[in-house]
Structure 1
Amino acid sequence: MTDETTEQTPSSTANGRLAGRIALITGASRGIGAAVAKRFGAEGAHLILVAQTVGGLEEIDDEIRAAGGAPATLVPLDLRNFDAIDQMGASIYERFGRLDILVGNAGLLGTLSPVGHIAPKVWSETLDINLTANWRLLRSFDPLLKLSDAGRAVFVTSGAASKHKAYWAIYSATKAALDSLVKIYAAENEKTNICANLLSPGPIRTSMRAKAFPGEDPETLRTPEEITELFVELASADCQRNGEIVEVPR
């Protein structure tokens, strides 16, 4: 992990709804993950930002600090490196002793094609990022979330998980499996301090959306920044929702 922490002057973030809470966000260098990172920073959280690109992470960190937020801990990581996820969990325990918020946002579209035309490499890569990496995150961070007074886990899903639309097999299948995984994890933690939910953002102006719908006018879609309020609500210590698929109101 790259430690970007420096001495900070008091700011309004000290009174934010996530003040003092430690939040890890995957896919944090762009799109929804970047917007959530900036919002959580504005709400006073200490951020652990995970993405593949160092430059992208540094850019988001600069924006957070420019807005008065605390410097983030930056973790350049390919989530398919599953052993590194375990190492990250150990490092977070040694440094912070707990994790308050886990946001599993990183995801891949895969390829939109008939089932019989999906390349095995594309299938494996999409499954690894959309499902297996999130299971590894839960496996590694479950003990850390339990050490929080109010552990909160939020995973980004999609309405495609239940629509069974032609040519969307790999994306839909991995998101449907993620839904089941998180709901079961939530059920296992009904009597603990952990609440785990899924958030379905709907059509959002992101690069993944543009890839899936190349003819769509992005100006007709909401920006990632417009949906961050619900992430804050689900990450807050006073949130009692558990095991739900929460859709962003349109």
Structure 2
Amino acid sequence: MFDYTIKDNCLINKVILVTGAGSGIGRQAALTYANLGATVILLGKTVSKLEQVYDEILANGGTEPAIIPLDLKGATQQHYIDMSNTIAQQFGRLDGALLNASMLGELTPYTHIHQQIWDDIVQVNITAQHLLAQALIPTLLKAESASLVFTTSSVGSKGRAYWGAYSVSKFATEGLTQVIADEYDETGLRVNAINPGATATPMRATAYPAEDQSTLASPEDIMPLYVYLMADESQSTTGQIIKAQ
């Protein structure tokens, strides 16, 4: 998978949902999937950013995407269920879902973590991911072979000082990945998580404001793994936590 060569049209006719599609890695993944033939469903909280990605996909000759404006911090279980049902009605199935959106919060000593920030990170990075997966799985199972991809971090496998709630949330993400993968191991649904590594994104800039982002991998640089996990070649890969770099 690490020397995976992206083939033209390898995602042709696939329907793929991308959360956090308005910026950073989610934006690049949406553009890449569309360029490879997929119909992309763009989910994010900022409509103007989603519209920019929508316009760019069309300008590149891609299939018209769908837009779902949704803030994971305030969305309820019913929102996700309704969304999944709408996808099933409109497209008949879902071939892939990249659950990329997450919240960093603030880097602070553990005893200084503000309760509201803790609650917000748990809501966005754990509860929303769980509810999304729970709602999407029935629609993913309508596809002959489907891929559910979570997003983790290096601080999700080894705790790091001052990363508090975000680190804990990514440990939970890895656990969620493994539980669902094991439960659906005998089906056509594969479940994995990507650790993108140090990548030049707005979230990374917030965490490391003094860092020179030109020294980092770009979102485009790490796309081979993101494509591999949505392509048919990864059908036997499940339950894995995979580093993109």
Q: What TM bracket, shorter-length normalisation?
A: over 0.9
3-state DSSP class of the match of 1:203?
coil
3-state DSSP class of the match of 1:235?
coil
Give the AA of the match of 1:59: Q
8 Å CA contact 2:151, 2:173 repeated in 1: no
Partner of residue 39, structure 2: 46
Q: Distance in 2 between matches of 1:166 and 1:63?
A: 39
8 Å CA contact 1:23, 1:100 repeated in 2: yes
Q: Distance in 2 between matches of 1:233 and 1:164?
A: 28
* 4+ residue runs over 3 A deviation: none
Matches within 5 A, 1:55-74: 55-74=48-67
Partner of residue 241, structure 1: 237
Write the deviation string for residues 115-168 of structure 1: whole angstroms up to 9, x where unpaired.
Answer: 221111111111111111111111101111111010101111101112221111
8 Å CA contact 2:85, 2:139 repeated in 1: no
8 Å CA contact 1:113, 1:167 repeated in 2: yes
Partner of residue 140, structure 1: 135
8 Å CA contact 1:115, 1:169 repeated in 2: yes
3-state DSSP class of the match of 1:149?
coil
Give 1:78 shift: 0.7
Q: Distance in 2 between matches of 1:53 and 1:181?
A: 27
Give 1:237 shift: 2.4
| Identity, % of aligned positions | 37
8 Å CA contact 1:202, 1:247 repeated in 2: yes
Give the AA of the match of 2:18: I
Q: Distance in 1 between matches of 2:93 and 2:233?
A: 18
3-state DSSP class of the match of 1:238?
helix
8 Å CA contact 1:79, 1:85 repeated in 2: no
8 Å CA contact 2:146, 2:189 repeated in 1: yes
Alignment counterpart, residue 171 of structure 1, candidates 145, 150, 166: 166
Q: Distance in 1 between matches of 2:183 and 2:98?
A: 19
Alignment counterpart, residue 199 of structure 1, candidates 186, 194, 197: 194
Give the AA of the match of 1:29: G
Partner of residue 6, structure 1: none
Give the AA of the match of 1:33: G
Q: Give unmatched runs, 5+ long, in structure 1.
A: 1-14
8 Å CA contact 1:227, 1:248 repeated in 2: yes
Partner of residue 115, structure 1: 110
Partner of residue 7, structure 1: none
Give 1:201 shift: 0.8
Matches within 5 A, 1:148-187: 148-187=143-182
3-state DSSP class of the match of 2:157?
helix
Partner of residue 92, structure 1: 87
Give the root-mean-square deviation of aligned CA atoms.
1.0
Q: Distance in 1 between matches of 2:158 and 2:175?
A: 15
Partner of residue 210, structure 1: 205
Partner of residue 10, structure 1: none
Write the deviation string for residues 22-76 of structure 1: whole angstroms up to 9, x where unpaired.
Answer: 1000000000000000000001000110001111001011111111111110011
Instruction: Report the TM-score, using the length of structure 2 for normalisation.
Output: 0.94
